[in-house]
Chain A
């Protein structure tokens, strides 16, 4: 008797790690991007590299698309299933640290390991994993790798890409590829940021960093957003390299202060700026007075500063919970990720506010000011088609504005479904074809996370046949 697809998945994993009940399928129908929703055909929870490979090979035989998934915190629809019902490969059960060496400052982890869990383990030896997306309590190393995630401290320490030394992945041909920075061509760099379109990462070798000797966090509140942005440009101009420079606007402050993440940010401020200096004690002590001097000259409403670990954490708490806290305003939020030069922060933000007004969409801002990475949050009610459309249009217009101002459409959240059309603001057909060509090397049949990343118009065969995967021209 021939087995159907689902039975074959069970044959690989056993009954208790393969699911296609309606509740499971619905739960996996979207990530943190609230606009698009498709249910997967089935959900598989592998525990070994071999199982992952067997699942990918099965999907190739059966022509079923594959979606790797970590914690589903992606904000651009990267972890939302493609239209053609896929096999969703949930990596959350592969969350072990396989080995680590405090001397070499490296660790090899399974890709489903949660970012913060790694730092907790290696923290015992005074080390940590530097990339710190605000989702780090939940998001996985594999998801961070696939999105090249950033975080507040990436201004000084770089993005995920700067901390990855090797990847083991099963590519879209069903081959197990071992990419190592020290060995062969830089496949590691290629895989980083590939958003699950090259295959499924099973193991990741990461660089660990030494916990800084001293950390000082400043919280300054301002009566205008211009003043806060001006302070950031001055700090950057004067050659100080803080670990983090983060700004929250008035609406965000209000929402955060109403939440369990209340951090005591002054509610009357138009903007608050978090500045963090870290490193060797003498360096932090040398930079602190410079920051204080700049702050004084920019006339903040109030300034607090602390080196106490607990107090620092509470200052940061509000920032880390900011995205979720905005959920108080409307049932859905859609967060953008455009980048602009720091010198243009203030002027772009005022244009962003105008766009919000034009489309009549509640808009708030919390962003990585140091590297000009904006995160306008558009609050809307997904049940209202007109409001949803306005939010999407406002989003595209803001991304276009970022590109026109000399920036880009994405700092760290990836392209996914959300920004695939906006790719055209930055890349012409020749660039896009080159990207497609590259991807075909790993995934010639376009089974890995299809329908994302590339713009749909021109060269796309979305929905052409049920068998062929969506979106990608192969």
Chain B
């Protein structure tokens, strides 16, 4: 078997002709101006590894790949159609298997499993964090004699929304408010559900008003996207299997309110064949609604806001027009365009916890762009970005508000 057959990532890496047109799109290159932190450089390194020019265990190779946000802005910029995400995720997996990284991978894996994929633990930890934050313990921790990593970790955490905002939806079947136009399911996610129950509740109301009979299956859970980005495919597999079992078969669509989850769920078939039927039904909330049509006359929502494209919505799923089309239907909602709306905010899953310095410089750029619009309301569609940009904006004097697009549409009901 030749290299291209045995290593599909290698085959994808051959599509790159080293033209450099992706450089301006890459947030890490824009921040560090180094070739090894650019898509062109990273692809070259991964190809060189396959061809035996550099060892997988070479620390500088690992660093270069760790620095990547997996935001996939390079894919949108690439004329040669390089499927960068596929190459990177294959290499993240290879790296995670290295003995030198094994401990780190195991630690990360159990962190993700316990805090994110396990709902009860996730909820518990979020409530305790919220309590700590409300009591100002986060600030206190910085002066107490805690170990440095703990202080830094605590200081980095974005603000956890209060309990009433986090409260999730009860599983069940929800009837449409008018005549039925579609039979769908709502994927509630892990972060979205435990941190932003309010978003899922808003999405549910909008979908019902749009004529959807909405299943909220009880046994669903984390989609595994964060595990996949970290190269932990083995740990993602049981999560995917759980969801394949949890959702009924005869649905028109499975609606996702978190861009990161949706993107990963649409891509399951590339590594898990049995997921194809499930994956073809997956649609982002905005994609589904824009195509179905609102089905109700939106009330006016007088506000000025700006829209930020989550990476995994625009680059990952190619969804750009749909959210704008939906927002444009709301009377009196004035959308002020954001400069560089498709640039990553630096949140990138748990990147902000792994690479805080870089994530913060990337966030600073985003915050500046938001400030330039002059508006105080930012609309987006991914929980990680939502929290991260909210934390960046909170540092400014003005009062900013970040909303999920479903919440804005719910206001128009």
Contact = CB atoms under 8 A, between A and B. Distances in A.
Contacts of B14: 331
Contacts of B80: 259, 324-328
B33 A23 contact: no
Interface string B13-34: 0111111110110000000011
Interface string B52-78: 011000111101100000000001111
B44 interface: yes
A32 B81 contact: no
The 9 closest A-B pairs by CB, nearest first: A324-B79, A327-B80, A321-B79, A327-B17, A23-B60, A21-B60, A92-B33, A27-B41, A27-B35
A27 B36 contact: yes
A355 interface: no
Contacts of A23: 36, 41, 45, 54, 58, 60-61, 63-64
A321 B21 contact: yes
B35 A24 contact: yes
Contacts of B58: 22-23
A337 B82 CA distance: 25
Interface in A101-122: 112, 114, 116
A259 B20 contact: no
Interface in A306-336: 321-328, 331-333
A26 interface: yes
Interface stretch (A131-139, A187-195, A456-464): A131-139
A32 B45 CA distance: 15
Given A23-B54, A26-B44, A45 B33 contact: yes
Contacts of B294: none
A442 interface: no
Contact of B17 (A93, A112, A138, A324): A324
Contacts of A32: 17-20
Interface of B: 14-21, 23-24, 33-36, 38, 40-41, 44-45, 48, 53-54, 58-61, 63-64, 75-82
B20 A260 contact: no
A72 interface: yes
Given A34-B17, A321-B21, 9 more contacts: A24-B34, A27-B44, A92-B34, A93-B33, A95-B33, A135-B21, A258-B81, A321-B79, A326-B80
Given A22-B58, A22-B60, A45-B34, A328 B15 contact: yes
Contacts of A333: 17
Contact of B23 (A19, A27, A138, A261): A138
A31 B23 CA distance: 13
A121 B80 CA distance: 29
Contacts of A258: 81
Contacts, number: 118
A26 B53 contact: yes
A90 interface: yes
Given A323-B79, A324-B79, A26 B48 contact: yes
Interface of A: 19, 21-24, 26-28, 30-32, 34, 45, 71-73, 90, 92-93, 95, 112, 114, 116, 135, 137-139, 256, 258-261, 321-328, 331-333
A324 B21 contact: yes
A343 to B, nearest CB: 32
B272 to A, nearest CB: 26
Contacts of A261: 79
9 contacts: A23-B64, A26-B53, A26-B54, A27-B36, A27-B40, A27-B45, A259-B80, A260-B79, A333-B17
Contact of A323 (B19, B59, B60, B64): B19
A190 B44 CA distance: 35
A259 B79 contact: yes
A26 B21 contact: no
Contact of B19 (A19, A26, A73): A73
B45 A26 contact: yes
A34 B18 contact: yes
A260 B24 contact: no
B48 A135 contact: no
Contact of A22 (B16, B38, B61, B81): B61
Given A93-B33, A260-B76, A260-B81, A135 B20 contact: yes
A95 B24 CA distance: 13
Contacts of A92: 33-34
A22 B54 contact: yes
Contacts of A322: 79
**Of B54, B79, B81, most A-chain CB atoms within 10 Å:** B79
A116 B24 CA distance: 10
A27 B29 CA distance: 13
